[in-house]
Chain A
């Protein structure tokens, strides 16, 4: 196994007395797609929030490229090479599609400059348009983001993450609320992005996960109950009991 891009050791998170995540240890190799699954409230989003600095872990360490990044402020994460999308669409609704991505690109060039004209920084336009082209939204670049269809807004959020050229991309239910057609487009996009990137993915749609992922982690009540390749996970009795066995339409 090559050196892991990301390694978490015994990480956990409590909210008051409630344990949302506990004792999760895992290492992630570069350029693989790993799915995180589990019933509602299992701690999947909490896990992502720890990996992207939104929340600090109450226990354990996070290493990214061998470096301990536990406790790093959230705004540093994207500069380290970790970008994410959220379970609930998180974009700049009143800005144009192009401006959404451009302002994300600008963070890597300048953040506090009050003097120069930002319009003159044309390489930001190019970077933004390249990210928009990658998700198929270049044709909508002047549209105000809030007027995009739901699926397009989700794609825009991925473009915002992509413009950071992240080595690790965290996608929290990228197909949430999408119909079959939009889901198919999103799967194709994730497959394309997976070619040269490490992706962690929270999803409920089992068919999609089995097709996409190299590995699956199963969370239940905040604990990691299984970790392995898709066939192994499918036949794991514990997983079948808590998750697949529910027969809630996902399986």
Chain B
């Protein structure tokens, strides 16, 4: 309320330097991510780990759009990951779709499912919202379990192995893990670019406003319910793409993918890396899978160790690995 003593020009410049590196990081976040993804197979202990980081990282990025940026804690995102995977496998194996059309089909299925689940779940808030998403995801799980003739039930979905894929007249050996990784990476990179655009868009400001203060966002003239459904659907769409890549990678879809453990793991990865930051989910997926990889070498009970680390993070470093690094760098 005191009269302004700053000139507009001085004010517009802002505190130089401190914000500078953050803005540069934000501007280059997509090329940087792609660069890291390109190097991943060569710096990680195994190719298999690299492709898992790619897929689960993308999954967590999609989830983060809803959880980290819109502030809605869903416990049912396994449903969209799984729907993407199942629909892609079914598209190839049962409808005879070409592989790239099957990816589109998988995204469509996962996105449509997310739209419906979102529409139902956003009527509630807080813990009730989480429970509704969980219940609806369980419904999807049991449907897949029962519809044996389509999904393969408990045995999972099989019979859609791709040996080669054709792209613009090129024929790529899809059994070669390195070639497969880079094909899948192209899709992940496109999705990262898409998510980055959403976050930089006017809609990105709207969901952050809803996360910060829902009543104020509504008073500012935003249709909060509609925006939430939209965010939920976009998030489901990205997770469905991760599912499609998962199906192409494994050439089978295990029923577990739709299970409650998958939903829990998505939340854990996102929190571990840092919800509400662009790189956080990838860092979280990397940390989670690396821990699993290393710890499971000397004990089959690796989940106890990973779970303990997760709890320590939630208690003492709630911003996650990446969020803590950012805060520490900004505080200096």
Contacts and interface: CB of A to CB of B under 8 A. Distances in A.
A106 interface: yes
Interface in A142-194: 142, 151-152, 155, 160, 164, 182, 185-186, 189
A160 B216 contact: yes
The residue among B6, B204, B213, B226 with the most chain A CB atoms within 10 A of its own CB is: B213
B206 A111 contact: yes
A37 interface: no
Given A138-B11, A185-B1, A118 B204 contact: yes
Interface in A61-96: 73-79, 83-84, 90-95
A109 interface: yes
Contacts of A160: 216, 220
A139 B220 contact: no
A114 B222 contact: no
A112 interface: yes
A104 B220 contact: yes
A136 B202 CA distance: 26
B221 A164 contact: yes
A83 to B, nearest CB: 8
Contact of B209 (A52, A83, A92, A133): A92
B220 A138 contact: no
A141 interface: yes
A116 B8 contact: no
A115 interface: yes
Contacts of A95: 208-209, 212
Contacts of A104: 220-221
Interface stretch (B86-94, B128-136, B193-201, B252-260): B193-201
A99 B215 CA distance: 17
B137 to A, nearest CB: 25
Secondary structure at the B interface, as helix, strand, loop or mixed, is helix
A250 interface: no
A87 to B, nearest CB: 12
A137 B218 CA distance: 23
Given A78-B220, A135-B1, A139-B6, A109 B202 contact: yes
Nearest to B212: A92
B197 A92 contact: no
B224 interface: yes
B1 A152 contact: yes
A231 interface: no
A111 B200 contact: no
A103 B220 contact: yes
The residue among A93, A114, A118 with the most chain B CB atoms within 10 A of its own CB is: A114
The residue among A75, A99, A115, A129 with the most chain B CB atoms within 10 A of its own CB is: A75
B197 A114 contact: yes
B202 A116 contact: yes
Given A93-B212, A112-B230, A116-B201, A139 B221 contact: no
Interface in B37-86: none
Interface residues of A, number: 54
B8 A103 contact: no
Contact of B213 (A76, A92, A155, A182): A92
B4 A118 contact: no
A120 B198 CA distance: 14
Contacts of A136: 1-4
Interface in B106-136: none
A119 B200 contact: yes
B15 interface: yes
A113 interface: yes
A242 interface: no
Given A104-B220, A164-B221, A112 B1 contact: no
Contacts of B269: none
Given A78-B221, A136-B1, A111 B212 contact: no
A62 B42 CA distance: 67
Contacts of A1: none
A139 B206 contact: no
A124 B179 CA distance: 46
B209 to A, nearest CB: 5
Contacts of B216: 90-92, 160
Nearest to A152: B1
- By Cβ-Cβ distance, the 7 closest A-B pairs, closest first, are A107-B221, A185-B1, A78-B221, A92-B212, A139-B4, A139-B6, A104-B220
Interface of A: 52, 54, 73-79, 83-84, 90-95, 99, 102-104, 106-119, 121, 129, 133, 135-139, 141-142, 151-152, 155, 160, 164, 182, 185-186, 189
11 contacts: A75-B224, A90-B213, A92-B212, A95-B208, A107-B220, A114-B198, A114-B203, A136-B2, A136-B4, A151-B1, A164-B220
